[in-house]
Structure 1
């Protein structure tokens, strides 16, 4: 299986490195600056029980001429349009595209460009970041990548993709409804971003003050209500897990979007929050706390853009 990983950042770079270390045919589609850095230093992953250092196969958009069997699309939503243009030569009649973005709007974008057939659903569950050297730091478990046909039907290509992932030590359980799994991840990430962004602190810092835990659970209730109204109720077990995550004392957990916010970087506010807010309005679900988080992130976004 020829694999193209679009992006070699904290998520795509991590999964691609695991696949390459397992001997898979993996190429990373990267920008020229990232390509130069990776050629000079190599692709490195560090973290608990994990040390990877390899010389990755790289390609830039101007040199991409072949098609691939599997495309792992792992870019921020702000780079989605450019990435879609760049990867177009890689998509042939038998290509499967697994997008690893949060939210849902990217599915329509990709299907509009490549048609419905190549586009699978995808969910990444991994806690990674890039350090000052551009190395990938895995901060905590898990290492999970879910995928499936968006209509829920079994398929040989999904089985083949999952076999390749599993062979690289990536947990990839079978899911009966990948679209529902994407919604449930969306609920988790919007809740975590809203809580940490509005309170300006890690999960443990929010819980350490009066009302912090109750605030987190109120945000979770809003996000879960939108998913339920859309036809994808979050299972009680997942709600309970997210609730425990939000109320863990002294937890240092922060999502990447919050880290982008405090660092003064652009965020994925429209793709993650704006789209969810629009769907909530269409479904007549009130989301005042999520709307407040979206407002704050939009003000930040405008400031970063120089508006």
Structure 2
């Protein structure tokens, strides 16, 4: 399939203006859909990525289409100025630093929406920005990857669950019109934990062996290890007063059916020599477990193994 460049629709008066701080795979995918729907969108990312987008637009490749979408792109955090909504899509390890970078440039009342792995990013952003700046968490369910500078690939899903905010209902309408299914939930913390459990079940394993979810599930003994990881996470969540809605065990099994060929973001980071988010995934469960008196030996083992894999990359 060859990419096509379609005329970009100018932003419609009255529509929300978006900035994406941390234009990786998640931010680029949602930014492209919003820009294609006529919203003003500015991606903020690395120089090579930004240069490619400025030159020819962002290449959005899905199972159904392959096109270039024109939008703004910058390497400067100051490009969030004037945005109604800032999608914070940086790695969890960079949350506070990114919040400090955008703070001087945020419009009064602009919503900072955290689209990140982990369960406490909104709290960490709020601690930096203060109570006057609206901050809300979102749970992201999407399989994407960067295939090169200015090129994002979509492999599956693409929905969001949003915490309540003053513009949450409007956001749901605007996102839906852009082809992004979204809903508001008063239990986003539980939804974030549900995703955390899934990430803890698969991310580290996928990273250590550099294999996708479907391959993992077929290996002898993997089901038992995954069950132990999930049980530890649920014990910590219960001790922490978290209400996880729905059948989490079915959700854990379902990820293999919905994304069998997907390698985890932790696996992708490790393969590219980038810092992983393991401290905010299995590491967070271990940390909260210690604080709450809940043993997490399997999560701890995988945390240490990923740390070792990261350390081994730096050795000559």
- TM category (shorter chain) comes to 0.7 to 0.9
Alignment match, 1:39: 54
Mapped contact 1:224–1:233 kept (Cα < 8 A): no
- Does 1:94 pair with 2:72? no
Kindly tell me the number of residue pairs found equivalent between the two proteins: 300
- Compared CA separation, residues 60 and 244, structure 1 to 2 (3 A): closer
Equivalent residue for 2:10?
none
SS in 2 for 1:241: helix
Matches within 5 A, 1:257-276: 257-276=266-285
Q: CA deviation at 1:275?
A: 2.3
2:158 pairs, out of 131, 143, 146, with 143
Aligned to 2:84: 69
Q: Secondary structure at the match of 2:142?
A: strand
Change (3 A) 1:184 1:33: same
Corresponding residue for 2:309? 300
Residue pair 1:191, 1:223 contacting (<8 A) in 2 also: no
1:207 matched residue in structure 2: 217
- Distance, in Å, in 2 between the alignment partners of 1:66 and 1:210 is 52
Cα displacement string for residues 180-231 of structure 1 (whole angstroms, at most 9, x for unaligned residues): 1111111111211133345553333333332222222222222222222222
Aligned-pair RMSD on alpha carbons? 2.5
Aligned ranges 1:1-307 → 2 under 5 Å: 1-61=16-76, 64=79, 66-116=81-131, 117-140=133-156, 142-149=157-164, 155-198=165-208, 201-246=211-256, 251-305=260-314
Greater CA deviation, 85-94 or 192-201?
Answer: 192-201
Q: Give the distance between the partners of 1:30 and 1:250, measured in 2 at CA.
A: 27
CA 215–273 in structure 1, closer or farther in 2 if over 3 Å, else same:
closer
1:62-86 alpha-carbon deviations (Å, 9 max, x no partner)? 7537332111011112333432233
Contact 1:4 1:68 in 2 (8 A): yes
Is the CA contact 2:140–2:161 (under 8 Å) kept in the aligned structure 1?
yes
CA distance in 1, matches of 2:171, 2:295: 39
Seen in structure 2, the aligned counterparts of structure 1 residues 18 and 62 have a Cα distance that, compared at 3 Å, is: closer
CA distance in 2, matches of 1:177, 1:22: 29
Q: TM-score, normalised by structure 2?
A: 0.86
Shift of 1:19: 0.3
1-side partners of 2:51 and 2:39: how far apart? 22
In structure 1, the partner of 2:9 is none
| TM-score, length of structure 1 as denominator length | 0.88
Aligned to 2:81, what secondary structure does the other structure show?
Answer: coil
Whether the aligned pair in 1 keeps the contact of 2:217 and 2:223 (CA below 8 Å) is: yes
Moved over 3 A (4+): 62-65, 197-201, 248-251, 262-265, 303-307
Measure, in 2, the Cα distance between the counterparts of 1:59 and 1:262: 26
Contact 1:28 1:59 in 2 (8 A): yes
Q: Do the aligned residues in 1 keep the contact of 2:22 with 2:43 (CA within 8 Å)? A: yes
Contact 1:4–1:71 (Cα < 8 Å) also in 2: yes
CA contact (8 A) 2:168 2:184 kept: no
Q: Which runs of 5+ in 1 are unaligned?
A: 150-154
Distance 1:228 1:133 in 2: 42
Cα distance in 2 for partners of 1:96, 1:133 equals: 28
SS in 2 for 1:278: helix
